[in-house]
Amino acid sequence: MKKKLILIGGGGHGESVIDSIRSANEYDIIGILDQTLEAGTAISGVPVLGTDELLSDLCHQGISYGVIAVGSLGDPRPRIRIYETLKQNGLVLPNIIDKSAVLSQNVSMGEGSFIGKGVIIGAGAVLGKGCIINTGAIIEHGASIGDFVHIAPGCVLCGNVSVGEHTHIGAGTTVIQNITIGDNTMIGAGSLVLRNISSHTLAFGKPAKEVGVYEQSYDYRRSRGKP
């Protein structure tokens, strides 16, 4: 029997997640909880059941797996909130790995991450929890990817790149080998990263330059008493 799973979030990213869950054929998707979609509608054939207030009832009905299915464009806070809600309700957060992704056997991953179509992850890479590794991204050997990082579609991270927690690497970015990118940072789409990039920083371009403080996630960290 397939394991029963609930999705939180039914937007565009949610549709990708549904597609990848179906590709792996391991879970039965019972429904979607979403703060804005109308209960009774359906996304990719999966019913919207209501808001995440239903979570505790659903857990009592025997659903033990939950997936963060909202995307992120540089603000990881909604995904973090969902992660915490799922954990508080005692749900297990599986890693959703599209069937077309190719992962070395020697990859270590936290929980609750999404690995999209055509992703390649090399030997010795270490991924935190709650990450999105989006369509067609390549993460080479020895990479270190922090919690709630989004590596957007088509990025190439060469060997031994390190990306700090909550950082967004914009679509189509290339990061050369041995580079360190800080926490809570935004790298704009299409960048070429040749030098280390600091935490709490907006950087973009070819080559990528630091153009300012990245505020959004910084506020989130301060609100949690972090520097």
Ligand X SMILES: CC(=O)SCCNC(=O)CCNC(=O)[C@H](O)C(C)(C)COP(=O)(O)OP(=O)(O)OC[C@H]1O[C@@H](n2cnc3c(N)ncnc32)[C@H](O)[C@@H]1OP(=O)(O)O
Binding mask 84-123 for ligand X (x = CB under 6 A): ----------------------------------------
Q: What is the DSSP string of 1-31?
A: -PEEEEEE--SHHHHHHHHHHHHHT-EEEEE
Considering beta carbons, is residue 59 or 189 the nearer one to ligand X?
189
- Pick from 125, 149, 124, 119: which is nearest to 137 by CA? 119
Contact flag: residue 214 with ligand X (CB under 6 A): no
Q: How far is the CB of 96 from ligand X (least distance, A)?
A: 15
Contact flag: residue 188 with ligand X (CB under 6 A): yes
The residue sitting closest to ligand X, measured at its beta carbon, is 188
- Rounded distance between C-alpha atoms, residue 136 and residue 121, angstroms: 10
Binding mask 133-172 for ligand X (x = CB under 6 A): -x-----------------xx----------------xx-
CA distances from 101 to 56, 57, 109, 118 (A): 33, 34, 14, 5
Relative orientation angle of helices 77-88 and 215-223, to the nearest 10 degrees = 40
Given a contact cutoff of 8 angstroms between Cβ atoms, the answer to whether 132 and 113 are in contact is: yes
- Determine the interface stretch with ligand X among 35-43, 107-115, 185-193, 217-225 (rule: CB under 6 A): 185-193
Contact flag: residue 76 with ligand X (CB under 6 A): no
- Determine the interface stretch with ligand X among 32-40, 85-93, 98-106, 181-189 (rule: CB under 6 A): 181-189
Q: How far is the CB of 34 from ligand X (least distance, A)?
A: 18
Q: How far is the CB of 16 from ligand X (least distance, A)?
A: 7
State how beta strands 27-33 and 46-50 pair: parallel
Q: Is the peptide bond before 207 cis (omega within 30 degrees of 0)?
A: yes
- Rounded distance between C-alpha atoms, residue 105 and residue 204, angstroms: 33
Given a contact cutoff of 8 angstroms between Cβ atoms, the answer to whether 105 and 122 are in contact is: no
- Determine the interface stretch with ligand X among 47-55, 62-70, 102-110, 183-191 (rule: CB under 6 A): 183-191
Contact flag: residue 78 with ligand X (CB under 6 A): no
- The residues binding ligand X (CB under 6 A) are 73-74, 134, 152-153, 170-171, 186, 188-190, 204-205
